[in-house]
Amino acid sequence: MALDRSNPVPNDLSAFWMPFTANRQFKKTPRMFVSADGMYYKTADGRQVLDGTAGLWCCNAGHNRPRIVEAIRQQAGELDYAPAFQMGHPKAFELATRLRDMAPEPMEHVFFTNSGSESVETALKIAIAYQRAIGQGTRTRLIGRERGYHGVNFGGISVGGIVNNRKFFGSLLTGVDHLPHTHLPEKNAFTRGQPEHGADLADELERIVALHGPETVAAVIVEPMAGSTGVLMPPKGYLQRLREITRKHGILLIFDEVITGFGRLGSSFAAEHFDVMPDMITCAKGLTNGVIPMGAVLATREIHDAFMHGPEEAIELFHGYTYSGNPIASAAGLATLETYREEGLFERAAELAPYWEDAVHSLRDCPHVIDIRNMGLIAGIELEPIAGAPTKRAFSAFLQAYEKDVLIRTTGDIIALSPPLIIEKHHIDTLFGTLRDILKGLD
Ligand SMILES: Cc1ncc(COP(=O)(O)O)c(C=O)c1O
């Protein structure tokens, strides 16, 4: 199929089965981006669309960043691929060291993957294998949380708690239980930052652990701030309590930081922001500015060293991917971390957060708005669903925003915003001004 450059929309859209998309609706009225620069996408019909979502929570440094583009070009011409098993190349080691240096102190080792989903699978497998390695082989259970999103692979959807992501796919992993979610709009609606109520929900972990016996539980996994389920902030004291209970019972705590990693909350990782140290951190997305697929699991020395036994020529962990630490992804990762550092983007996010907070809460008086939540450069605006037609109102806001040259994201009836960290105040004004207009006119 030839592409007509004057009209860059292909005339056959049928072959591509699009992920997490209403395929039939999309193919009737396609929304196509053909290029991107800075804070803007360009559509096939030539419009500039303001990126209110950093792509899919991933382009934290904005688009078309010269250092990243050049690093990829150079690396492709220098070393395109090196086998990931039993061979190495310098940039993967360099990137692991850079990550260790920017991560909270106890995170000393890095296992590379290609996505958030793979990072989650990797962390869950390491957790179970670690317990076995330290003589706690009965600890195989995994505990997630209702409304949690941990990607789409079987481990991730098993510990995850988004009903539609689970119910079509059979019986999932066995030996999994879930904490209650922390969304309490009746008590916490319109909170700025962390809500007051809900820390006690962490105590449910004591009940779950007692039910199964602590000696059967390997790990608890949560998003420190739950993004994809609609931007849910951890109640004050909640994460600390989870840490206390997991430590008391010899259970590993995994923070899934696929969204919160790399500056989203104004710090390198949410673990640092909330001052709660897990045993492992999963990340992806912002690691390469979303430009090339890459993810990583950060683990403490204690976890890593538990595997470093036996004959030196024996493989210690039977896990890995063909593209773990891929040279081009590693080069993109190094250039991305350098861009964040050079431009002080995490600090910039922290500085802009109060302006962002005021702007999003200014929508409180708009029709249909039943809750607003924010932290760092992230916000959730929850709309009252249309009776009998959940998701329709928010999806309609999404379509209208696109027509008005603003990209937002919706999940259920919640609008989720997470712009590139290079956003400026005038962009914030445009984003929320456009949203106000849309909300006023929504059915
Ligand atoms: C917390 C969390 N974990 C895992 C994932 C899955 O990442 P990916 O889509 O790269 O597999 C996501 C994606 O949004 C996420 O937000």
The 10s digit of each residue's pLDDT in 120-151 is 999 999 999 999 999 999 999 999 999 999 99
Give residue 414's pLDDT: 98
Residue spans of the domains in the chain: they are 23-52+344-441, 68-343
- The average pLDDT across 373-378 equals 98
Q: Find residue 255's DSSP bridge partners.
A: 222, 281
CA distance linking residue 143 with residue 129, whole number of Å: 16
Rounded to the nearest whole angstrom, what is the distance from the C-alpha of residue 328 to the centroid of ligand 1? 21
- The average pLDDT across 230-255 equals 98
Q: Residues 247-286, buried b or exposed e (16+ Cβ, 10 A)? A: eebebbbbbbbbbbbbbbbbbbbbbbbbebbbbbbbbbbb
Give residue 5's pLDDT: 57
Given a cut of 90, whether residue 109 has pLDDT beyond it is yes
Rounded to the nearest whole angstrom, what is the distance from the C-alpha of residue 285 to the centroid of ligand 1? 8
Give residue 397's pLDDT: 98
Residue to mutate, 231, 232, 259, ligand 1, most ligand atoms under 8 Å from C-beta: 259
pTM for the complete prediction? 0.97
Q: Under a CB-based contact definition with an 8 Å cutoff, are residues 52 and 419 in contact?
A: yes
Chain mean pLDDT for the chain: 97
Q: Under a CB-based contact definition with an 8 Å cutoff, are residues 43 and 33 in contact?
A: yes
Alpha-carbon dihedral 132, 133, 135, 141, rounded to 10 degrees:
-20
Residue to mutate, 283, 285, 321, 378, ligand 1, most ligand atoms under 8 Å from C-beta: 285
CATH class entry, domain 68-343: alpha beta
- Tell me the pLDDT band of 39, cut-offs 50, 70 and 90: very high
Give residue 8's pLDDT: 72
Residue to mutate, 57, 149, 223, ligand 1, most ligand atoms under 8 Å from C-beta: 149
Atom of ligand 1 nearest to the CA of 119: 4
Rounded to the nearest whole angstrom, what is the distance from the C-alpha of residue 332 to the centroid of ligand 1? 19
Give residue 2's pLDDT: 47
Give residue 10's pLDDT: 86
- The share of the chain scoring above pLDDT 70, in percent, equals 98
Q: Under a CB-based contact definition with an 8 Å cutoff, are residues 224 and 253 in contact?
A: no
Rounded to the nearest whole angstrom, what is the distance from the C-alpha of residue 440 to the centroid of ligand 1? 32
CA distance linking residue 249 with residue 64, whole number of Å: 47
Domain 23-52+344-441 of CATH type 3.90.1150.10: yes
Residues 177-187: tens digit of each pLDDT: 999 999 999 99
